Chains A and B, each alone.
Chain A
Amino acid sequence: MTATTARADVDGASGALAFASEEDALRARFYGLIANLLAAPPDAAMLAELAHLEGDESDLGRPLGTLAAAARETVPQAVAGEFHDLFIGVGRGELLPYASYYLTGFLNEKPLARLRGAMRALGIERGPSVKEPEDHIAAIFDMMAGLISGRFGQPAELATQKAFFTAHLADWGPYFFRDLEKASAARFYAPLGALGGTFIAIEQAAFGMVE
């Protein structure tokens, strides 16, 4: 069923990537989805694609279905306005989606330095188009996706993924997604908050099952 299709899709699109498992390919997709929606508001093509996603009664399926329904009921302009109110604002947005802010109350503090150290060790750098500090939630999700998929050379060992997740996401990600789910400006983004929080909890539990 679905799993086999996913493998075919992934391999077909790249012709080269060898995920360690079916589940890893799908984990990379979830990280990528959440990263993309938090990096910039979705355009019409992305909203249309989201609208076609079908949830189910699983833990991830429920918020994904709600997100798909929200995508069907909105337009790019409205989501862009919401994104602005949430993350950009006048002076600042309602939320500051940075590890450093969540862990210390200030931007560009020690958590950012720790992340940059980990990036150096893993050989990851910002693309030239990126302006935000590296500890932005979308950047960390993008890096997790890249570690799983092998964008940074080759797929990272599960232990490496777990160490990165534990050091840079686990301690503050749940609080950020809780805030996103409850943010006053959040409409389309509220179910993304639920999805992100659920996904982090599942990743945490799954990492807990291996050394």
Chain B
Amino acid sequence: MTGRMEQEDAMSERNTRPHENRDGDAVTDRRGFLRLAGLGTLAGGAAVVTGGETVAGEPLEEGRAGGYRLTAHVRQAYDTARF
């Protein structure tokens, strides 16, 4: 990330009236704000600790954090609709 980009992110972060923006601008502001906050520090690895949040649609049956999952009847509805 270049210094120039960070500067622009910081400027958009200081926009205190995002609702006056078009929706797209607000979303861009939000992403810039999140990047500046340091989300990237978890970018490289740590998959074991972050808990397999990468498993699409697979219920974490024995997930450490409890394995919260889609309810059976909703899953069936998704299956039926071929989501």
Contacts and interface: CB of A to CB of B under 8 A. Distances in A.
A27 B37 CA distance: 11
Interface in A117-160: 120, 123-130, 132, 136, 138-139, 141-143, 145-146, 148-154
A98 to B, nearest CB: 13
Interface residues of B, number: 54
Interface string B9-46: 00000000011000100110111011111111111111
Nearest to A120: B71
A37 B51 CA distance: 10
A9 B50 contact: no
A2 B59 contact: no
Contact of B54 (A17, A142, A154, A210): A17
B83 A154 contact: yes
A17 B53 CA distance: 9
Interface in A1-26: 1-3, 5-6, 9-10, 13-17, 21-23, 26
Question: Interface residue tally of chain A, by bracket?
Answer: 35 or more
B57 A150 contact: yes
Contacts of A33: 42, 46, 49-51
Interface stretch (A73-81, A87-95, A101-109, A201-209): A201-209
B74 to A, nearest CB: 3
Nearest to A14: B54
B46 A151 contact: no
Interface of B: 1, 18-19, 23, 26-27, 29-31, 33-75, 78, 83
Interface of A: 1-3, 5-6, 9-10, 13-17, 21-23, 26-33, 35-40, 42, 45-46, 49-50, 52-56, 58-62, 64-65, 120, 123-130, 132, 136, 138-139, 141-143, 145-146, 148-154, 202, 205-206, 208-211
30 contacts: A2-B43, A3-B43, A6-B44, A15-B56, A17-B54, A23-B35, A26-B43, A27-B34, A28-B50, A30-B42, A32-B65, A53-B41, A56-B41, A58-B41, A61-B41, A64-B38, A123-B75, A128-B67, A136-B66, A139-B68, A145-B51, A145-B65, A151-B57, A151-B59, A151-B70, A153-B57, A153-B75, A202-B34, A209-B29, A210-B26
